Chains A and B, each alone.
Chain A
Amino acid sequence: MINILTALPCEARPLIEHYRLRGNGRHHAFRCYQNDDVQLIICGIGKLAAATATAYLAASEPQRNYAWLNLGIAGHATKSVGEVLLAHKLIDAATGQQSFPGIVIPIPCASETLTTVDKPEQRYRESTMVDMEASGFYAAASRFQSCELIHALKIISDNQSHNTDNISEKSTTALINDNIITIESVINELQQLATELDSIKQTPAEIYAFMEHWRFTAYQQNELRLLLRRWHALTPASSPAPHDFTEYKNSKAVLIAIKEHLDAQPIRFEEANN
């Protein structure tokens, strides 16, 4: 699952069409679109709007491991209009704060520093893309997710020889559309990473069946979760089930019984290789 944040509807439109996203009426503060794998939020211009929208989306389903992508247009002094670049360093121009997205996915394009400014600037900065959202987006998203799953992907919309006067809604949509294959490639990689993290952090499904049979305190629920994870690691072929423990009257006795069962299991690593 991935959450995509764009500042403008014209940046979002190609993605809405490509992924066949549907408007989500549940959200009122921001315009949101989604399918089963992708959520898109249109935040408006500025880092504060970006941070707010990111936090809003993150808080709406806090349990899931989402990847996060800020997609949009950016300026650059020398890069060609239409070039797509992943941000490898984010700088907040107002505070000087630097952030470094963790790049563990194969990147299908070049990368560049991205500086987020509070107001549009007349002069281009040296050796950096410039936008107005990424630092707010990253600061908020990194409260909820690991840095390897948070990225900003920008398409150059203007440079020293092709200034912002040439940018229109239509040209912006076209820039995103022209790079949809690269964008999709980054989204796919991030989704895979999010799925992997989700499976690592997943609570064993059996926990709910056990909780229906016995009353576990919050502390015991955590203990049960750890024991069930041990169970799966030690005996991947078998699943624990409450009916194997019906002779035990209360949660404490069940936890002891599971622990004793696990402690008695032989450890053989060769099996793990097969």
Chain B
Amino acid sequence: MHQVIYIEEAVADHPRTKSICARFPKATKVYCKHYGEIFNRKAQNFRLQKKQPALILAHKHKNHVLDAPDGYGIGGRRNYYFSHMLNCVYDCRYCFLQGMYRSANYVIFVNYEDFQQSIINTANQHPDEALWFFSGYDCDSLAYEPVTEFTKAFLPTFRQLPNAHLELRTKSLQVRTLLKSEPLNNCIVAFSFTPEEISQALEHGVPSVEKRIEAMVKLQQHGWRLGLRFDPMIYQEGFEQLYQRLFEQIFSRLSASGIHSVSLGTLRTPKAFHQNMVNLYPEEKLFAGRFDENRGMITYQKELEEQMTKFCHEQLMQYIPQSLFFACTPSENP
């Protein structure tokens, strides 16, 4: 529950603002001119705010659709991302958002229609190409669905754009809207996983691996195409057994034939974000291990990265064909 909802004056009367506020009748509404007054101010502490995040309702004026970062894709040539929300309801210690943003408050841009129009315009600019749109870059795509009604609003847009593919990336169990909807062939519901032991230690507030698998099974039975994201892979001593067990756990329940794609990525964080994260959580074991700096990114040692990728790739090949596999690795050429 939010104690405070900050609302940009310009969206005070927006129907989506009203419906979201109606879900939090006890929250104090505080009006501001621009969400940046709260979200981007200097003297604030992400860790303290994560204890009780406020909600910020705002209008996104431009850059509704952006090019996806290097290495963020599943085989498509044109990859984009869009963020109706900034920040995540979960608290994963490896998440770059806590190093990138000063605030842990959740921003929801209520002007969905402008995002949808940008998606349509982008798709229409490349009518003969398959385009990928990722919605889970700055937030979990589904975790706040009861409040945002994001999928309810955006699935119809993609239903009318056959060349545009949508990836919903999530760790949540909020699949009710999807289970009520006719599956879209151009939408992938991708679930992120780390082994249960690592998840419990580092992914605070995230549902258990087993529950996420159950949600995937329901979606698969309903006809949704699924993705599996092991990104980032997290190292600990004996990671082989942990990841082996995780893959067994997943593929013993899910039919590989209904899987659209599986991707692997190693832990990688821009140096400035990493430093912010270490300062926020100096006692965190994750950040106390051995890291290297590689072209401005903080990563595990190259040999360890290769060892983890090779092992997990080999394990995955026991369950899926190579054609479904994608490595989330930025290209070597800057």
Contacts and interface: CB of A to CB of B under 8 A. Distances in A.
Given A148-B44, A267-B236, A233 B290 contact: no
A262 B288 contact: yes
A233 B237 contact: no
B283 A233 contact: yes
B11 interface: no
Contact of B30 (A100, A145, A231, A266): A100
Given A104-B52, A266-B237, A148 B282 contact: no
Interface in B220-270: 234-238
A148 B201 CA distance: 26
Contacts of B77: none
Contact of B49 (A107, A148, A229, A231): A148
B297 interface: no
Contacts of B236: 267-269
A103 B3 contact: yes
A98 B6 CA distance: 13
B201 A269 contact: yes
B285 A193 contact: no
- Identify the interface centre among B32, B200, B283, B284: most chain A CB within 10 Å of its CB: B283
Classify the secondary structure of A's interface with B. mixed
B235 A104 contact: no
A273 B51 CA distance: 19
A187 B109 CA distance: 35
A232 interface: yes
Contacts of B45: 102, 146, 148, 197
B47 interface: yes
B48 A233 contact: no
A234 B49 contact: no
B326 interface: no
B88 to A, nearest CB: 17
A232 B28 contact: no
Interface residues of A, number: 42
Contacts of B283: 200, 229, 232-233, 236
B306 interface: no
Interface string A228-265: 01111110100000000000000000000000001101
A89 B48 contact: no
A233 B37 CA distance: 35
B288 A233 contact: yes
Interface size class of B (residues with CB under 8 A): 35 or more
A147 interface: yes
Contact of A263 (B4, B281, B290): B290
A229 B38 contact: no
- Identify the interface centre among A103, A107, A193: most chain B CB within 10 Å of its CB: A103
Contacts of B37: 98, 100
A196 B48 contact: yes
Nearest to B237: A266
A111 B28 contact: yes
Interface string B150-183: 0000000000000000000000000000000000
Contacts of B107: none
A272 B285 contact: yes
Contacts of B4: 88, 103, 111
A78 interface: no
A126 interface: no
B58 interface: no
B197 A234 contact: no
Interface of A: 88-89, 98, 100, 102-107, 110-111, 113, 142-143, 145-149, 193, 196-197, 200, 226, 229-234, 236, 262-263, 265-270, 272-273
Interface of B: 3-4, 6, 28, 30-33, 37-38, 41, 43-45, 47-49, 51-52, 54, 197-198, 200-202, 234-238, 278, 280-290
The list of the 8 closest CB pairs from A to B, nearest first, reads A233-B288, A269-B201, A146-B45, A230-B288, A266-B237, A104-B52, A148-B48, A263-B290
Given A229-B288, A263-B290, A268-B238, 10 more contacts: A89-B32, A98-B33, A102-B45, A102-B48, A104-B48, A147-B44, A148-B49, A200-B280, A233-B282, A270-B197
22 contacts: A88-B4, A88-B28, A100-B37, A103-B3, A104-B49, A105-B52, A110-B28, A142-B43, A145-B43, A146-B43, A146-B45, A148-B48, A197-B45, A229-B282, A229-B288, A233-B283, A233-B284, A234-B285, A266-B237, A268-B236, A268-B238, A269-B234
